[in-house]
Amino acid sequence: MDEFEKLLAEVSSSVERFVRYRLPSQTDADDVLQEVYLSAFRKFSGLKNRDAFKPWIISIARNKCNDYFREKAAQMEISIEELSQRELSAGRLGISLVYTVRETLDRLGDKDKQILYLHYWKELPQAEIAKLLDIPVGTVKSRLHTAKQHFKNKYPYQIQNPKGDTAMKKLPESMPDYIIEPLDAPPFSVRWEELQGWQIVPRVGEKLTWGLYDFPERKRTEYTEIEVVGRAEVHGIQGVEVVAMQFNSADYYRTGALDQVERRFVAQLTDTHSRFLAETHVEDGVRKCYTFLDGEAFLNNWGFGEDNCGNQVDLHPKGLLRREGNRVSGTIPREVVDVVGRCRVTIAGKTYDTVCVMDIACFNDAVASEQYVDQNGRTVLWRRFNRDDWAIDQFGGKPWSEKLPDNERIIINGETYVHWYDCISDYIL
């Protein structure tokens, strides 16, 4: 094996992950990857610093992806050179229009998009637009006025809180009583845009407080204030920056820290999926940063789905899991999320029509959860269960059925899982 092949073998998974993240088509991604490797091979002799091979070949991949988008833009008769490259990007499972202007334009009708494009991007005078479209100048003025009004009405990122109202609602110290009633009605389909496990939608302006409550004590053990603060980019992939401050958190699995942990994420919401792109925190005085290109070090903690495609925002029953009472069965791969029923949840004095979403082996092979999602696509109640043998050496050497003998149990493919804690957010308050 020559030097080029050896270096390529060490980084090829990162290069492939980078390209597949950006391109919506598997076939197109394969074609672009071949171009990347061929171009890198031809230029390799000019690379003086072999230690810089990974960023060097990633830069080639980035350029090839940009070439791909230029070709696609030409097919749509839109000049990519006149648009910021930051305005249009594609995730592995679909195009994500990442800046608010571009997102809003995409929601407008064709006539509105056309007139705004010609006026603002092409900067054509109204007389030229009239000639180009073969309509009177007066019609151009009218269409432009209407299009601007439609844009204003559809602009998505308006502050929801009244001016000066930035405080998050305070969570109760004890878990509120709740009742879960299974319904005979079929589960509904819903758009579920939350980041898996963190309950926040990765959209600028979103904020949330959520807390964990251990059982049987029902006392709050930790809580997190989380907010989407702005736009962000990781390896050329567009997303948003999410800041989460965890209080009273014994988060020794990832940080070794106690009492207070600040995390910053970059996350992305596409038309089909919601997912993490990067995570950073301070551990023992050192800032640790992980991105989707870091393989298992990132995917084991923050990834979900093949190549971290994320959780599907189109939430509906897939038929992978079946639930009857406290028994769950089905073919469970490494990780699975599926809707298993419809329930009425009454909590904190309010009643919600929800679907029950089961998550098995996503965080760990021996962990499962129930998540009750309402018709707004927001989590009302989240409940965690541990397989009887999960991490028993770290928790006193006893199986969970002995450690928490009075807690609820569910049986998944014949194995016992024990309820550990619940999670609620200020969404229900």
Distance, CA of 97 to CA of 275 (rounded, Å) = 15
- pTM of the model as a whole: 0.68
Determine the residue type at 255.
Answer: T
**Would you tell me how many other CB atoms lie within 10 Å of the CB of residue 401?**
15
Residue entry with tokens 């992950």 = 17
SS3 assignment, position 208: strand
- Report the residue count for the chain: 429
Beta carbons of 233 and 86 less than 8 angstroms apart:
yes
Please name every residue paired with 357 in a beta bridge, in sequence order, or none if there are none. 339, 371
Q: pLDDT under 70 in the chain at which residues?
A: 1, 24, 72-106, 120-123, 154-169, 248-259, 284, 307, 333
Whole-number pLDDT of residue 73 = 55
Distance, CA of 284 to CA of 274 (rounded, Å) = 30
Distance between terminal CA atoms of the chain?
Answer: 62
Whole-number pLDDT of residue 74 = 54
Q: Which two tokens stand for residue 249?
A: 């958190």
Distance, CA of 357 to CA of 342 (rounded, Å) = 9
Whole-number pLDDT of residue 121 = 61
Residues 84-128: tens digit of each pLDDT: 333 334 443 343 433 445 556 667 787 888 888 787 666 678 888
